[in-house]
Amino acid sequence: MPATVLVDTVDCVRTITLNRPERLNALDPDLLDAFDTAFADLPGDVRAVVLRGAGRAFSSGHDLKWSAEEDAQEPKTETELAATTERLHEITRRIKACPVPVVSRVHGYAIGGGAEIALSADLVVAGSSATFRFTETAVGLVVTNGFTGVLPRTAGPAVAKEIILLGEPFAAERAQAWGLVNRVVPDDDLDAEVARIVATLRTKSPTALRLAKNLLDRGWEGSLEDVMRRETEASVEAAQSAEAREAAAAFTEGRRPSFSLS
């Protein structure tokens, strides 16, 4: 059987490809475990991670065929069902905890859990063919990966309820208008646009990117004073980094800084 997730690391960029094209990259336990491993063994010199789907879609979401076949053999216990949900939640945890920026390249369908993976990335680039949809209420399930919290904070409570309760498909342009997608480009330009973004990220301080990512992900936690306290702590760490010293030296010498992971 071919690998359900392909991992390729070139020039300090790790590309993780969901690889069940015959099932539109539907999510089953094998794929989720392989996805987790792809993040768990991230090399120390990686500067960015790119998520993508093989074939005609990013991901059609939870593999309902697999679930039906499993239930036909023996219904899952509450513990087993909870473990399945936690396996999905681990996706969000891995992406948010990743020390480097994660960029998703989305084409075709990004449905249910597939949409949650795509939209959990730090930066989302969608092709004009991309169609997002949260279908959980239509198939007796609920949204996971923290998106009952992410969507209201990102798109607003009214839009979040429309997305989840109605479960209607929405195009990449609408996703961008709602603040869920960063850029929308023709499908033929997807790879080039992702490459441009990754190239830009590689010019930045890895320490500063890691700290900024963490601050932004936690920006809604606590009071303004809590936010500023975290900013102070991060500022001290950034200022003491080798990259900050390199940036200062480069400025003095009239050249571009050259950053490495410190």
Residues with catalytic annotation? 136
Instruction: List the structure tokens of 155.
Output: 């798109």
Each as own residue / partner, the long-range contacts of residues 136-139 (CB below 8 Å, 24 or more positions apart, any chain) are 136/112, 136/164, 136/167, 137/164, 137/165, 137/167, 138/167, 139/62, 139/64
Q: Which residue from 11, 175, 201 is spatially nearest to 103, judged by alpha carbons?
A: 201
For residue 220, give Cα distances in angstroms to 15, 107, 152, 160.
Answer: 29, 30, 12, 17
Q: Where are the beta strands (DSSP E) in the chain?
A: 5-10, 13-18, 48-53, 102-106, 109-111, 123-127, 131-133, 170-171, 183-185
Helix (H) or strand (E) holding 199: helix 190-201
Dist. CA 205–CA 260, nearest whole Å: 8
Residue linked to tokens 């023996």: 74
Residue 27 phi/psi, 5° resolution? Answer: -90, 120
Dist. CA 95–CA 39, nearest whole Å: 8
Can you state the angle between helices 78-97 and 113-120, rounded to 10 degrees? 20
Q: What is the DSSP string of 63-89?
A: -HHHHHHHHHH-PPPHHHHHHHHHHHH
